[in-house]
């Protein structure tokens, strides 16, 4: 299974587009461990209050990706990057839902209580990062994509360069610029 090439995955994706349901099962068998690795990388970085595992994150991404009628991935890189986007959206939705359950109207909080209110770092970081990332996407789509693949996918600079068809040094430079911009946005939000 692990000896499948990018061309083999592209062939499976082509068959899937043509309606071959067996190719969907084969595709997941081929890419499952890789997707699970990316999900594990993201979850390792997050707050320990997360109650689900990498397997659950991949399964949720799978359900969301294949629940759609639009199964139109061009190649392995496109499929993997789409899965990472879906995992990002799931994590953000999860954090927002947990955060909304704890939300207290600002006019109901006095300054002393405000200091004692704590929410998990995950909720604040993921939601704030997602909002800042949406702003960055409007300014520089490639930088936003690099952050998404790096943070939510745990991909290396080399892997991102392959997916985006740019050099590793360009990925590194764009990653550094995007990180500085995002940190500024998050601190000032």
pLDDT, tens digit, 9 for 90 and up, residues 104-141:
444 444 443 333 333 334 444 678 888 899 999 999 99
In a domain, 150, yes or no: yes
Long-range residue pairs from 100-108, CB within 8 A, at least 24 positions apart, any chain? none
Does 161 reside within a domain? yes
What is the average per-residue pLDDT within 53-81?
A: 85
- pTM to 2 decimal places: 0.69
DSSP 8-state class, residue 108: G
Q: How many domains does the chain have?
A: 1
pLDDT in tens, 18-52: 888 888 889 888 899 889 988 887 777 665 556 67
Report whether 153 contacts 35 (CB < 8 A): no
Mean pLDDT of 91-99: 78
Q: Is residue 1 part of a domain?
A: no
* Domain boundaries, position 169: 6-187
Cα gap 172→86, rounded to integer Å: 24
In our burial notation (b when 16+ CB lie closer than 10 A, e otherwise), range 16-26 reads beeeeeebbeb
Q: Contact, 70 vs 3, CB < 8 A?
A: no
């Amino acid at each position: 299974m692990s000896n499948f090439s990018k061309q083999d995955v592209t062939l499976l994706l082509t068959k899937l587009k043509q309606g071959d349901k067996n190719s969907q099962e084969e595709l997941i068998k081929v890419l499952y461990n890789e997707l699970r690795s990316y999900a594990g990388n993201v979850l390792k970085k997050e707050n320990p209050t997360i109650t689900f595992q990498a397997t659950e994150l991949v399964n949720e991404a799978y359900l969301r990706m294949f629940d759609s009628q639009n199964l139109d991935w061009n190649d392995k890189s496109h499929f993997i990057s789409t899965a990472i986007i879906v995992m990002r959206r799931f994590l953000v939705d999860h954090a927002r839902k947990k955060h909304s359950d704890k939300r207290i109207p600002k006019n109901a909080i006095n300054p002393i209580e405000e200091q004692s209110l704590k929410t998990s770092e995950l909720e604040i970081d993921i939601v704030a990062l997602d909002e800042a990332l949406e702003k960055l996407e409007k300014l520089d789509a490639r930088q936003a994509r690099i952050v998404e693949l790096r943070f939510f996918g745990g991909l290396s600079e080399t892997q991102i360069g392959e997916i985006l068809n740019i050099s590793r040094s360009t990925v590194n430079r764009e990653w550094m610029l995007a990180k500085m911009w995002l940190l500024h946005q998050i601190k000032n939000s």
